[in-house]
Amino acid sequence: MPSVDPRLRQIEEKWQARWTASELFKARADPSRPKYFVNVPYPYMNGYLHIGFGVTFLHADIMARFKRMRGHNVLFPQAFHCTGMPVLAAANLVAEGNPAQIKILADMGIPESEIPSFSDIQKWTRFFPDAARKDLASYGASVDWTRTFITTSLNPAYDRFVRWQFRKLRERGFVKTGKHPVIWCPKDQQPVADHDRYEGEGEIPVELTLLKFPWRGKFLVAATLRPETVFGQTNLWVDPDSTYVVARVDGEEWVMSRSAMEKLREQDRHVELLEEVRGELMVGGKCEAPMIHRQIPILPTRFIDQTKGTGIVTSVPSDAPDDWIALKTLREDAEYAHRHALNLDELRKIEPTPIIRMEGWGPLPAIEICEKLGIKSLDEREKLEKAKEDVYSSGFYRGVMLENCGRFAGMHVAEAKDEIKREMIQAGEASTLWEASGEVICRCRTRASVKVVSDQWFLAYGDPDWKKKTGDALSQMTLHPDTVRKQFEHVLGWLNDWACTHHAGLGTKLPWDERWVIESLSDSTIYMAYYTIAHLTANPALDPATLTDEVFNHVFLGEGSSEEASRISGRPVETIEEMRREFEYWYPFDLRHSGKDLVQNHMAFCLFNHTAMFPEKHWPRGFGVNGFVKIGHVRMSKSHGVALYLRDVIREHGADVVRLASAQGGEGLDDPSYDDEFAASAGKKLLSLIDYAKEHHETRGEWRELDAWFRSVLHRTIRLTAKAMEGMWHRTAIRLCYFDLQRQWTWYLKRCGGVPNADILREFLDVETRLITPFVPHAAEEIWEATGHKGFVSTAQYPEVDVSAINAAAEFAEEYMHQLVEDVREIIKVTGITPRRVTIFTAPAWKRRVYEMAVDISLRGKAEMGDFMREALQSPELKAKSKELAAFAQKILESMRKMAHENLELRRKTLDETAMLRESIKFLETELGCAVVVLDAEAPDIVDPKKKAGQSAPWKPAIFVE
């Protein structure tokens, strides 16, 4: 891996040191200046910063730098996030000596001897924020570090802020309590979080439907994930060799497995064991199936797993591979049937009923998939699992209920599923049972189940009034890019109550019930407000305990007086007033920028909670979103092993280059790609710009048309770049002010024989430096200093557009010159001639006359050949040329038909083509490497053996190469 050019590194370190020394980015309220407050979600501190965060952060930094140059007092703070499970889990893993976790740390370059210290949570919360801060500083971040902080109760001031916020939310009715299923260890009597599991990471509670089959005054209870398949029930399965229980559940007598009864106990049901019953006893009987109300036989099978569901299964052989194979086995096993006193003829009458139609499948998908996979026996568990998975997911997403499904016929399965379940529950034919989506074993080696806790706290995002208010807030916001608006609107509608407390993890305890810890996303919704006062809360001379609710109420909500808040809290009145001033000045934030993955949770929560906590004038003004970073063409992810640490890429290429490559990778909602090859080549280009600015150049004082052209380009570039910057179209801006402008400069130099006008050179360097500052601030500072400026370009004024410099005619003329060179080259290429001389024939006076007339007539409206000729023939001069006139006019009018109005206008301007060519002969000769002659096509004595001169037209001269 090539390392960054030492000169670039040196430049970066030099300017970073100077920025720090001069506290350039420290921001304090200053009512005499307009403010701009920008921030990004704090990154999570379980490792070094990734390039993905780097990209998101960069867009905010670019905006901060741009606004600073536009005269704003800019606040760009940055804190670090430690709340939640990951840090805790990682520290625990280190303590246990977990090899994978130790490898992760070792791969980060942390010395082996230091790794054991990471078993302490506080090591993480100090080490990584420190590292992140250094990484960002070396990235050229224009952050006010006086306001940095970490989250969780490890930061008592922030902790008090979160507590205040939750008390307020509760007081205002935005927090509510309710039932919630959690994976639960019956031995430990507590929830089993992912990292506390011996087995079953990622498994979640799922709700099964319990179907109730009336049988001898009791109910046989079967569990299913597919209530919509009740229309295809043919029989019921029980395990004859198992013992079931009869229990009174909420007043009814249910027959089920013992484990099912125990699960129900944890789930807020009233359960009482009555007696045991052998499965064998049920076999051979009949019971009434729910929904379809038909008598179906109770049959024996051995495929039932007593730990899952209820130990009783309803049979839908059309759509459940297990059921089909079980049925088939039973029909073929006369001995088994006989043993259970079953009538084989009766069994053979049982036929699967098609109930769901799905594209790509026949009417009986279970049978189809079993045949396809060659499943013959219930012992082929793996194949059966796959078969089930296939049928289930196809059915769920693409299935439609058939005509025999009553009022659900024609409904999509995804929709029918819930409706059917609801209807059966209402009719008393069904109930529900929570179960883990897969087996979960607690660390204590106990099998976990699902418990429904009844005191779970929620943020009431499902509340219609709150949604409405949040929608209003959204409609007033600026979004970058605006295309995310639809997504936001959709998310606001879809969000439901959010479980905002946990039993484990780092964070702030729920103020009114300290058994709970506030969940990580929930405590991070309005902390942008905290940034405005963070530097004041961090004062070590003041006890954080003086940050009472009265203080926050006054500072953030303007309630009460500062004196009163001071008296109650014991916090000096001046600091309270200063906090209030900072908040009032900076809030709301103008832009919060993040990756698009946060739209549907964090960004939406942020908006919700702002409307709950603050008056309308303090609601967020703008959100920005970018895509997921790809490394080359591969999406970055830890599991794929393609993840880059910000520090590493900076070390490799240098901060400015990484910034350029990151901002250049993509804009809008596209996933930006970080292109290493681009980064590798970008440093050279940047250095050569610095060198160019530092060198002395031969200049001239004389003013040429060409200089007007370049000024036009320069000022148009300023205008377009500034517009792109405002809309956060950063890649577009880089293209305009960096790549395009420098290319134009190269052309300009070629055109004036390498000797630029002195004023133009100065203006170019001056404007270019300021335009690129937000992207490559270190290089820009270096150039700024080298070109004799005092102070920092980081705080210089953004270039202003001189509208009078923008000159479309000059740019048209230059384009013409460019086109001419291209044309000659094309001819040389096609003919293979090595040119000794190029003759350029300009159009004769009469053609120019025709051309002008054609422009006029085209500008007026549809240019008809007839009208044109009538007009042209009135001129005696043209009448004399009538033969050539018609052909020429035809061609000209044709070409003009496709031109936009402004293009036509330009052609009407009286630019002197011949004079331009004559002035440019030297340039053309260097460019083409041979002699160049410019002649009037109808001048006497021309040398034109190939009869090319006749092709000449205005702005399209004839060319003869020899």
* Residue reference for tokens 């059921």: 323
> Applying CB under 7 A, which part among 153-161, 166-174, 287-295, 664-672 lies near RNA?
664-672
Residue 551 CB contacts under 8 Å (≥ 6 apart), including other chains: 565, 569, 571, 576, 579
Nearest distance from C-beta of residue 919 to RNA, angstroms: 18
d(CA 682, CA 660): 8
Residues 440-499 that bind RNA (CB under 7 A): 458, 483-484, 486-487, 490, 494-499
Nearest distance from C-beta of residue 413 to RNA, angstroms: 9
Task: Output the 3-class SS for 68-100.
Answer: HHCCCEEECCCCEECCEHHHHHHHHHHHHCCHH
Nearer to RNA, 867 or 902 (CB): 902
> Applying CB under 7 A, which part among 560-568, 713-721, 727-735, 763-771 lies near RNA?
727-735
d(CA 830, CA 833): 8
Nearest distance from C-beta of residue 535 to RNA, angstroms: 24
d(CA 24, CA 698): 36
Interface with RNA, residue 823, by CB under 7 A:
yes
Of the candidate residues 3, 475, 681, 797, the single one contacting RNA (CB under 7 A) = 681
Nearer to RNA, 643 or 827 (CB): 827
Interface with RNA, residue 86, by CB under 7 A:
yes
Of the candidate residues 84, 624, 654, 756, the single one contacting RNA (CB under 7 A) = 84
Interface with RNA, residue 688, by CB under 7 A:
yes
Nearest distance from C-beta of residue 533 to RNA, angstroms: 23
Interface with RNA, residue 598, by CB under 7 A:
yes
Nearest distance from C-beta of residue 159 to RNA, angstroms: 17
Nearer to RNA, 334 or 414 (CB): 414
If DSSP codes are grouped into helix, strand and coil, which group holds residue 303? coil
Interface with RNA, residue 739, by CB under 7 A:
yes
Nearest to 665 by CA among 643, 701, 620, 635: 635
Instruction: Give the Cα-Cα-Cα angle 800, 813, 937 (nearest 5 degrees).
Output: 170
Nearest distance from C-beta of residue 385 to RNA, angstroms: 20
Give the x/- contact pattern for RNA in 632-651, rule: CB under 7 A: -x-x----------------
Q: How far is CA 577 from CA 84, 276, 543, 544, 555, in A?
A: 33, 72, 17, 16, 8
> Applying CB under 7 A, which part among 325-333, 526-534, 710-718, 821-829 lies near RNA?
821-829
Interface with RNA, residue 200, by CB under 7 A:
no
Adjacent-strand bridge partners of 292: none
Interface with RNA, residue 825, by CB under 7 A:
yes
d(CA 817, CA 911): 13
Residue 684 CB contacts under 8 Å (≥ 6 apart), including other chains: none
Of the candidate residues 233, 257, 431, 673, the single one contacting RNA (CB under 7 A) = 673
Nearest distance from C-beta of residue 156 to RNA, angstroms: 20
d(CA 698, CA 755): 6
Give the x/- contact pattern for RNA in 267-306, rule: CB under 7 A: ----------------------------------------
Residues 924-953 that bind RNA (CB under 7 A): 946, 948, 951
Residues 389-428 that bind RNA (CB under 7 A): 397-398, 412, 414
d(CA 773, CA 721): 12
Nearest distance from C-beta of residue 594 to RNA, angstroms: 10
Give me the amino acid identity at 287.
C
d(CA 564, CA 558): 12
Interface with RNA, residue 959, by CB under 7 A:
yes
**What are the residue ranges of helices labelled H in 558-704?**
562-569, 573-586, 604-613, 646-653, 655-664, 676-694
Nearest distance from C-beta of residue 654 to RNA, angstroms: 14
Nearer to RNA, 194 or 262 (CB): 194
Nearest distance from C-beta of residue 838 to RNA, angstroms: 8
Nearer to RNA, 108 or 899 (CB): 899
Residues 609-628 that bind RNA (CB under 7 A): 628
Give the x/- contact pattern for RNA in 505-524, rule: CB under 7 A: x-------------xxx---
442, 188 contact by CB (below 8 A):
yes
Nearest to 802 by CA among 848, 850, 760: 760
Distance of CA 97 to the CA centre of its chain: 35
Number of C-alpha atoms within 13 angstroms, CB side, residue 169? 31
Nearest distance from C-beta of residue 55 to RNA, angstroms: 13
Nearest to 768 by CA among 791, 744, 747: 744
Of the candidate residues 134, 723, 897, 922, the single one contacting RNA (CB under 7 A) = 897
Nearest distance from C-beta of residue 629 to RNA, angstroms: 11
